[in-house]
Chains A and B, each alone.
Chain A
Amino acid sequence: MTSELSRYQDAWTAEHYDFQITWPNPDLPLYLEMARESPRPVLELACGTGRVLVPLARQGATVTGLDISPHMLSVARRKLAAQPVEVQARVTLVEGDMSRFALPYAYGLILIPFRSFQALLTRAEQRRCLECSARHLLPHGRLVINVFHPWLSKLAAQKSAEPQEYTGPHGEAVTAVSRTEFDFAEQMLTSRITYEITSANGEKQSHEHVLRLRYFFPFEMEWMLEACGFEVEALYGNFDRSEFTAESPEMIFVARRK
């Protein structure tokens, strides 16, 4: 089974997402802290399965989560249903495209965590996303975007990610192998990920999906935000708000409307 996916648009990938991402949520404390600093409603773009959204709502924030994939949203809804009623009442989930959305609210904080912005492959999509975000921000509201910092030595070596092993939602053993191609002219990575799945009764299956990501350089992001009417307030190199350096693993931009 092969699908051209960069946006988790099938049920299988959506159901596996929370099991595959074995990141111990290092970004979550930062977003929780930013939400505490801003008493206004929060919008998370590409909220997926609610990894960030649900803890924000549990902390007391009024949050809207937008995602293009109904399958990811149905996982989020299921997780939300297990939460206390007052937490559920603080959450609105919307199926929509992060580069063309119109919601009847304005927000004090808009978050685009964990590389989701990198799914916007063209300058036109990136511009539309930032323009939509600007329209949905309250005056003095903040936009926070996390993208990975492309280390040149890693790019030049053109290495694929290490194979990954995890246990799926039904107890199946999964090995995910990525083969990544680099397009330096278009600043794009294309990963073909093959999942070899062995179910509890020994049955074998495979699944393949394609993930395309743009990578961004720091000055490029600064010019982009400037061109789209934002002013960069801070650039952090990691989720502990450490200063951005040539060795930083992450880029976290905090921007305000000019």
Chain B
Amino acid sequence: MEHEMTLYKDEWSAETYDSLLRTWRDDVGLWLDLANETGGPVLELACGGARALLPLAQAGHECVGVDLSPHMLAIARAKLQQEPEEVRGRVAFVEANMKSFDLGREFGLIFVTARSFQALLTRDDQRACLQRCARHLRPGGLLGIDVFNPWLDRLVQPGGVDEKPEEYHGPDGCRVRETGHTDYHLANQTLVWKSRAECTSPDGKVVVREYDCPLHYFFRFEMEWMLEACGFEVEALYGNFDRSEFTAESPEMVFVARRAR
């Protein structure tokens, strides 16, 4: 695979994407329900700026967040500093790869939200991550994974798909116009989203930042067999975080799986 993930690997993209997603909370209710059901403790893989993890800690759960990017973890740690001491005492962040983390303890719930699992491009990487998850779950513990539902009409556009341009203010005060293009590689079920951010600072200076985000796209039964092959039983598949039924038009595939006893 010639495309490497460059998103989140510098301070600017880490801060920008954290600020863009800061108010998005659609998934938090589901993860909180599952945390309550299992009683925790909770491990989030690819936790980023701890957008989803902090509310679980605020609700009383002991939480660990793992992420590959020191820039994202710096944001997470800064947010944690704003929390009362009792919340701070319940949260730890660990810089590690979700394919190889080893925390030496077990959790009641592990989750990977907002499509982060799709950054694992090969079956070997996916298996490695799920085997680490199985090792870190107590018997009967729950694993939650969100991936997007691959819409066929997007996958078959010749020449890929131009994403809708977005305009927003960056965390450094610059005005950003972001355009993007997604190419689909059908043979290995990957897509590469290329983002181009044109950033104009208040004094009129323009900087262009370009990022690659390669992702694997999963089909429904591929996920179910993969989970089974790695020692999990699929308990539920939802079409969105509100636990709606999965249909062909669902935006997401949210899997809840139990570690086989």
Contact = CB atoms under 8 A, between A and B. Distances in A.
Interface of A: 123, 152-153, 155-156, 183-185, 187, 216-220, 222-224, 226-227, 245-246
Chain B at the A interface: mostly helix, strand, loop or mixed? helix
B219 A227 contact: no
Contacts of A184: 152, 248
A220 B225 contact: yes
B152 A223 contact: no
Contacts of A223: 123, 222, 225-226, 228-229
Interface string B104-147: 00000000000000000001000000000000000000000000
Interface in B180-207: 185-187, 189
B152 A246 contact: no
B153 A219 contact: no
A220 B222 contact: yes
A224 B186 CA distance: 20
Given A185-B246, A185-B247, A227-B229, A220 B152 contact: no
Given A123-B221, A217-B219, A246-B186, A222 B123 contact: yes
A158 to B, nearest CB: 9
B220 A185 contact: yes
B178 interface: no
Which has the most chain B C-beta neighbours within 10 Å: A222, A223, A227? A223
Nearest to B229: A227
Contacts of B185: 246
B152 A227 contact: no
Interface of B: 123, 152-153, 155-156, 185-187, 189, 218-222, 224-226, 228-229, 246-248, 250
A152 B189 CA distance: 11
A152 B229 contact: no
Nearest to B231: A227
B224 to A, nearest CB: 6
Contacts of A227: 225-226, 228-229
A185 B155 contact: no
A219 B247 CA distance: 21
Given A183-B248, A217-B222, 10 more contacts: A123-B221, A123-B225, A152-B155, A185-B250, A187-B219, A217-B219, A224-B225, A226-B225, A227-B229, A246-B187
Contacts of A219: 123, 189, 218-219, 222, 226
A155 B185 CA distance: 17
Nearest to B225: A223
A224 B230 CA distance: 11
10 contacts: A152-B155, A155-B152, A156-B153, A184-B248, A185-B248, A217-B221, A223-B226, A223-B229, A227-B229, A246-B186
Nearest to B224: A123
A187 B123 CA distance: 21
A153 B220 CA distance: 18
Nearest to B234: A123
A77 to B, nearest CB: 36
